[in-house]
Structures are given as C-alpha cells and as structure tokens.
Amino acid sequence: MDNRPIGVFDSGIGGLTVLKEIMEQLPNEDIIYFGDTARIPYGTRSKETVIKYSFQCINFLLSKNIKAIVIACNTASSIALEPAREKFDVPIIGVIEPGAKAAISTTKNNKIGVIGTSGTINSEAYQTLIRSMDKSAEVIGVACPLFVQIVEEGWEDTDVAMLAAEKYLMELKEHNIDTLVLGCTHYPILRYTLSKVMGKEVSLVNPAFETAKAVKEMIISNDMLKDSLDKPEYKFYVSDDPEKFRRIGGNFLRREIRSIEKINIENF
C-alpha cells in the first residue's frame, strides 16, 4: 500500500481529460496535476527542449512526493517517456502506448485513423507505434488544428465543430476506417460530434481512458493502492495565469477546480 499521490503533467489544460479518467477509475487516489501553461505548446519545440521541459515537470512532481507519474501530453509522451524512464526511479506511464494498443485490439478491418495536432500527426508517434505492433495495420493520420481552439471556446457541440469535423474527417471516411484514435488530449470533449460525423460503425479510441486503465493496472500490480479512506485530494499547479486554467478546466473536468497554485517551473 502507498498513500502518496499520483502525479500527472501536461503542457497545459488538455491533460485534464486524462486526469478525469484516472479520477473515475481510481476514485480513492490523491492526485497532483501540473499544467505547464507558460510554455505550451510543446508540439512546436525541439526534442531537446521537450525532454528538458518534461524532466522539469517530473522534478516538480517528485518534489511533491508522488508515487507514480502520468505524462498526459502526446508530445511529451512520444519524445520524453523513454529518457524519463531511464533517468527517474519512479513508474512512468505515457498516453501513446495505451492508445495504440487499444486501436489494434479494436479494429476489425485493420484500417485505423489517428487525429491530433499538427505536431503529433507529423511526429508519426501513433502511426509508427501502431505499425510496429501490427505490420498489417493501415494507419492514416490527419491533423485537425482547429479542434483545440473549438474545445477551449466551449464550442464542442456547435455547428462550427460539426462543419470543421466534416471537413477534417472526410479523408478518413473515404478510407473506410473502422477505428479512430483521438490523439490529442482535448479531443475526448469533442467525441459526440466526432461520433456523429464518423457514424456508429466507427469506434472511437480515447487514449485518456486507456491510459487511466494502464495506470490502474500498474498501481494494483505494484501493490501501490492508497489504503486510507480519507476523501481523495486533488491539487493543481500551473506555470502561468491560474484563472484561465480554472475557467476552461472546469469544462474538461465537469467539476470546479478549487486548489490551484502558480509555480515557477524554471526552478525545477
């Protein structure tokens, strides 16, 4: 048993969809979330910078005495997961691998679509990993840059979202995919719109959900569950203006964000 909190970090607010799934699947656990809002987006940074930033996030979380780390950012997961596992002596889980695994076990016709930011799609992180796990898989990646802003505006159920989704997903529909990976932490918020556009025959894979499942398995198999029956505590830290995070974050978590603090991540 281990009563220390789980640490989660993301380049900003999107990782809250991962946090939400962890809260649902491990409802007793304490969690500390760090959003590196001052340095978002990671997707346009060099590899060296993403590794440096990720190590700083991990150092900060370690200073809060956490028992495991979840990298809830697609860019950081694809670039910094392996270097971080080599450097730090703490269990670390990223979002790419659980999403890729779920895509392969879900598809029946071996045609998988992946959507994400330009950074994630151009990095080919999901595409390469899925193909390495199943050589027969056909994987088509499509960048959907507007979706993040649509979600941050709270416009996920509007005509704007619907029309943008129709434009972006047309190519994937033409390729007859049966599985769509939501390869950006913001996209689960859009899932009803995405599902409407793709149709019922296409399964949506939510890496946030799959990651939370992987975290739960790891925590249980390492005998690290919290055994105290105290109400779970959630603490939030950001590197820039907490108010925007609080306001938009509520839409992600579907609950009020109370304890939030700004820290200087450059000190870690």
Which residue among 184, 208, 238, 265 is the active-site one? 184
Query: Beta-carbon neighbour count of residue 40 at 10 Å?
Result: 18
Q: Which stretches of the chain are DSSP H helices?
A: 16-25, 47-63, 74-87, 96-106, 118-123, 125-133, 146-152, 159-174, 191-198, 207-221, 242-253
Q: Which of 55, 88, 155, 268 binds a copy of itself (CB under 8 A)?
A: 155
The b/e string for 82-102 (b: 16+ C-beta within 10 A; e otherwise) is: eebeeeeeebbbbbbbbbbbb
As a whole number of angstroms, the distance between CA 237 and CA 154 comes to: 22
As a whole number of angstroms, the distance between CA 254 and CA 92 comes to: 26
Q: Which of 196, 224, 240, 250 binds a copy of itself (CB under 8 A)?
A: 240
* 232 is a site residue for a copy of itself (CB under 8 A): no
Nearer to a copy of itself, 41 or 83 (CB): 41
Q: Yes or no: say if 207 and 182 are a contact pair by the CB < 8 Å rule.
A: yes
Phi and psi dihedrals of 209, rounded to 5?
Answer: -65, -45
* 142 is a site residue for a copy of itself (CB under 8 A): no
Strands 203-205 and 179-182, by their bridges, are parallel
As a whole number of angstroms, the distance between CA 117 and CA 141 comes to: 10
Nearer to a copy of itself, 103 or 238 (CB): 238
Q: Which of 90, 138, 140, 145 binds a copy of itself (CB under 8 A)?
A: 145
Could you tell me which residues are annotated as the binding site for substrate?
Answer: 10-11, 42-43, 74-75, 185-186
Catalytic site residue 73?
A: yes
Span interacting with a copy of itself, options 66-74, 79-87, 149-157, 219-227, rule CB under 8 A: 149-157
Which residue among 32, 50, 61, 73 is the active-site one? 73
Q: Which of 18, 23, 32, 40 binds a copy of itself (CB under 8 A)?
A: 40
Span interacting with a copy of itself, options 50-58, 124-132, 160-168, 176-184, rule CB under 8 A: 160-168
Q: Would you name the residues annotated as active-site residues?
A: 73, 184
Q: Give me the residues that bind a copy of itself (CB under 8 A), please.
A: 38, 40, 44, 145-146, 149-150, 152-153, 155, 158-160, 163-164, 167, 240
